[in-house]
């Protein structure tokens, strides 16, 4: 298992030197400043590689850019509107340039409008740690009363609608502004930032797009890019919806094992694969991330290992980012399954037997608090998660030796 770490570039409050002290083996990054739909040039790729390879004092770090997360898929591609064909061509050109630079794994997602959604980016736990949280009542208050989406109340159970009305009535203007900003925060480091008016405009363009239609659009996209990835020897891996249930009236097409099977079978190439995120898939009680991994293991090209604590029994529920070894996912069983899959691949002679993994997210603890790193990406909280996951991995690999 290749131990990697996500880095958002020079503006990241967690440095290359910090990563080295954490003992990571490779770096996950992207060109967040490049507008979606345009080509990642060889020069920009090389510049990011040089930044990763260099410590603060100019000495070599020994680290390489090993996984792209994310090469964004534009809203035009998802909706098949506007410049979507030109954007696919740019995506393919970017992929070729990444291949020429020696990078083989590309993580992406096909979530409409927002890459992930939380209502609180620094929720305090009883021990003083901070974490990200999705509160269903707060989200319903945002959707129904702040965004004022037409028909929003019909998306929630009556008891949630009633609780959201009460919660909204008690909110200060500052609290309303904070929740709205948290919900539309999107991907940290991305070139775009959405206002409420931007969100309303995007939602209106998805009114006529159903779940089956969005699936067809994704299959059309993969039918273009996956054969090229296969030819180049690259691996594409789609991240699941986060959270994995419908929001804002938008279609969700990567929230379950069945969703993944639809896409993998429609474009049945080894290059067309999965980013198995235990936190995203684990945010609904009818998903067992360990069983999903075992079912799709042959096509899992990248692992995000994190945990969430679900606060309800319905598909749509509140949850928060728990410690890595706590929460919905049995991380011990997950690591056992990963070690078994790597052994199977190694015995089969696969060159991709070592699956890249990053300790996804983490709680802000100790000196993380006040550092103002990207939400979900603290230094010490991720280091703690990585150490715990590394310990599990070593235990299982040595036991099987």
Catalytic residue annotation? 239, 277, 304, 360-361, 377
- DSSP, collapsed to helix, strand or coil, labels residue 364 as strand
Alpha helices in 233-376 (DSSP H): 257-266, 278-281, 289-296, 331-347
Contact between residue 321 and residue 306 where contact means Cβ atoms under 8 Å apart? yes
Residue appearing with tokens 């419908």: 246
| The two structure tokens encoding residue 59 | 């000495």
Q: Which residues pair with 54 in a beta bridge?
A: 60
Contact between residue 107 and residue 67 where contact means Cβ atoms under 8 Å apart? yes
Instruction: State the DSSP code for 298.
Output: G
Q: Which residues pair with 108 in a beta bridge?
A: 238
Contact between residue 300 and residue 344 where contact means Cβ atoms under 8 Å apart? no
- DSSP, collapsed to helix, strand or coil, labels residue 104 as coil
Alpha carbon distance 109, 131 (integer Å): 23
Phi, psi of 17 (to 5 degrees): -60, -40
Peptide bond connecting 70 to the previous residue in cis, omega within 30 degrees of 0:
yes
Contact between residue 199 and residue 192 where contact means Cβ atoms under 8 Å apart? no
Nearest residue to 36 via CA among 91, 117, 80, 100: 91
Q: What is the CA radius of gyration of the chain?
A: 20
């Amino acid at each position: 298992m290749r131990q990697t770490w996500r880095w958002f570039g020079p503006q990241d409050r967690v440095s290359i030197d910090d990563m080295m002290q954490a003992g990571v083996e490779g770096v996950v990054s992207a060109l967040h400043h490049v507008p979606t739909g345009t080509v990642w040039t060889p020069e920009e790729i090389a510049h990011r590689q040089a930044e990763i390879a260099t410590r603060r004092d100019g000495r070599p770090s020994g680290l390489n850019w090993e996984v792209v997360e994310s090469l964004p898929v534009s809203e035009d591609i998802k909706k098949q509107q506007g410049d979507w064909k030109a954007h696919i061509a740019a995506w393919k050109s970017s992929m070729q340039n990444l291949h020429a630079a020696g990078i083989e794994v590309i993580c992406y997602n096909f979530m409409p409008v927002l890459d992930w959604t939380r209502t609180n980016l620094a929720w305090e736990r009883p021990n003083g740690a901070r974490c990200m949280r999705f509160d269903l009542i707060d989200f319903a208050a945002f959707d129904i009363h702040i965004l004022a989406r037409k028909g929003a109340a019909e998306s929630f159970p009556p008891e949630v609608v009633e609780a959201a009305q009460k919660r909204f009535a008690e909110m200060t203007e500052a609290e309303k502004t904070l929740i709205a900003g948290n919900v539309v925060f999107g991907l940290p480091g991305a070139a775009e930032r959405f206002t409420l008016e931007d969100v309303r405009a995007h939602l209106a363009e998805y009114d006529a797009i159903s779940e089956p239609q969005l699936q067809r659009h994704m299959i059309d996209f993969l039918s273009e890019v996956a054969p090229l990835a296969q030819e180049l020897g690259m691996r594409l891996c789609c991240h699941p919806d986060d959270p994995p249930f419908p929001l804002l009236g938008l279609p969700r097409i990567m929230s379950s094992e069945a969703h993944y099977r639809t896409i993998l079978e429609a474009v049945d190439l080894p290059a067309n694969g999965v980013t198995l995120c235990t936190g995203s898939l684990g945010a609904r009680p009818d998903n067992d991330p360990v069983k999903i991994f075992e079912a799709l293991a042959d096509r899992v090209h990248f692992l995000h290992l994190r945990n969430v604590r679900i606060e309800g029994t319905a598909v749509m529920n509140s949850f928060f980012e728990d410690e890595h070894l706590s929460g919905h996912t049995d991380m011990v069983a997950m690591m056992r399954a990963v070690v078994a899959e790597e052994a199977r691949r190694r015995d089969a002679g696969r060159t991709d037997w070592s699956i890249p993994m990053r300790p996804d997210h983490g709680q802000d603890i100790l000196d993380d608090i006040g550092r103002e790193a990207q939400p979900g990406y603290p230094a010490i909280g991720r280091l703690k998660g990585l150490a715990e996951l590394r310990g599990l991995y070593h235990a299982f690999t040595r036991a099987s030796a």
